[in-house]
Structures are given as C-alpha cells and as structure tokens.
Structure 1
C-alpha cells in the first residue's frame, strides 16, 4: 500500500505542476482556454490573476514533494496528508463555485491518495 500511496501522491503533485504551467505560462493559449473554458478576451483580462492562482498550485505541488522526500517518515506523512487535504478542500470549493469537473479531475485523485496514504500508515 505504501508504493500505491507514493504513486498517487506523486501524481497529484504532477497534476498541480501541470496546472501551474497552464495558469502561469499558458493562460492565454488555446490549450489553457479549452481546459478552463475561457475565451481569449477573458484570458487576456485575467492573466495576472491566473498566474497568482498558478503559483498557489505550485505551492501545493511543492508541499507534496516535500512530504514524499522528507527524511522523517512521520513528518513526511503529516506533510503529505496536510497538502492532500488542502487539494481536496480546494477541489470541493472549485467544484461548488467554478466547474463541477474539478471534483473529478482534482478531487478524486487527492481523495484516493488520502485513502491510500492513511491505509499505508495504519
């Protein structure tokens, strides 16, 4: 179960690095506009807001990676759990206020990783 939880946490971290990239560097591209359901005009008008949002996604990814590689297993577990819960809360909020698909795309991997992490640390 430890290997599965490590893989799932790493996937959540990678997903947030990808989101960081879309929001900070690709926000006005057709790829990001399609991913977030925005128009060219909206993307141009909100470019700085999206970059700020992307930075926060980067912090989530950094926290998860920190937890994965922390030399103290107990503290590493706590870091992973904390940042996964942050992702889960953000996914629920985003699903309720922005796009319901956020619950599936961001929330499901985070909640699966939480379950695997908890089971691996029983």
Structure 2
C-alpha cells in the first residue's frame, strides 16, 4: 500500500512541476493562456504573480519528492512527514480553489485528485 501511496504522491509532484512550468515559464504563451482562460493582457498583467505562484507549486513538488526518497531509503517517519506536508498542501490548495471559484471545479479536481489519493493511501499504510 505504501508503494501505491508513493506512486500517487509522485504523480502529484510531477503534475505540480508541470503547473510550475506553465505559471512561471510559459504564462503568456497562447497555449497556457488557453489553459487558464486568460487574455494576453491579463496574462501580461499577472505575469509576476503567476511566476511567484509557480514556484510555490515547484517547492511543494520538491518537498514531496524528498519525502518519497526518504521513505525509499528507510526513513519512514521523516519521509512520511514530508510527503504529507507536500501533498497535504497541494490538496489544501485544491480545496481553496474550489471554495473560492466554483467555476474552477475541474481544475481543483485535477490539482487535488492525486494528492487526495496519496494522503489516504499513505495514512492507511502507516496505520496498518
């Protein structure tokens, strides 16, 4: 069960690296603007905010990845704490997105599905 939890945590981390790329590196590109539903003017105006937000997503992915590595190296307590911190924050961000913008429910579900599964599976694996 712990292996499944780590796979979903890794998928969540990869997704958040992709979000980092979109927000911090390609924010004003037509493809990214279409993904986020912004105009060229809105993207240019919010470029610095998105750049910063993208790094939050990258840091959550890094924390999660370090936790996965720690668990794989036998440091289950420290690793689990890091994985829970990383994917738990991702899940909380998805909940905030859903609560603040119901029209972004699909984005919130996409952002939060892997972290939710990782949290549940890791909690069950550690409780066993």
User: Normalization by structure 2: what TM-score?
Assistant: 0.90
Distance 1:53 1:97 in 2: 16
TM-aligned CA deviation for residue 44 of structure 1: 1.0
Deviating 4+ runs (over 2 angstroms): none
1:47 aligns with 2:41: no
CA distance in 1, matches of 2:86, 2:3: 18
Cα separation, 2, equivalents of 1:113 and 1:31:
29
Mapping 1:62-77, distance limit 5 Å: 62-70=62-70, 71=73, 72-77=75-80
Q: Secondary structure at the match of 1:113?
A: helix
Unaligned runs of 5+ in 2: none
Q: Distance in 2 between matches of 1:73 and 1:108?
A: 23
The correspondence of residues 81-120 of structure 1 with structure 2, limited to 5 A, is: 81-98=84-101, 99-120=104-125
Q: Give the Cα separation in 2 of the matches to 1:102 and 1:42.
A: 19
SS for the counterpart of 1:121 is helix
1:25-64 aligned within 5 A: 25-64=25-64
Equivalenced residues, count: 122
> In the aligned structure 1, how far is the partner of 2:48 from the partner of 2:60?
19
- Aligned-partner Cα distance in 1 for 2:86–2:107: 17
Distance in structure 1 (CA, Å) of the matches to 2:22 and 2:115:
19
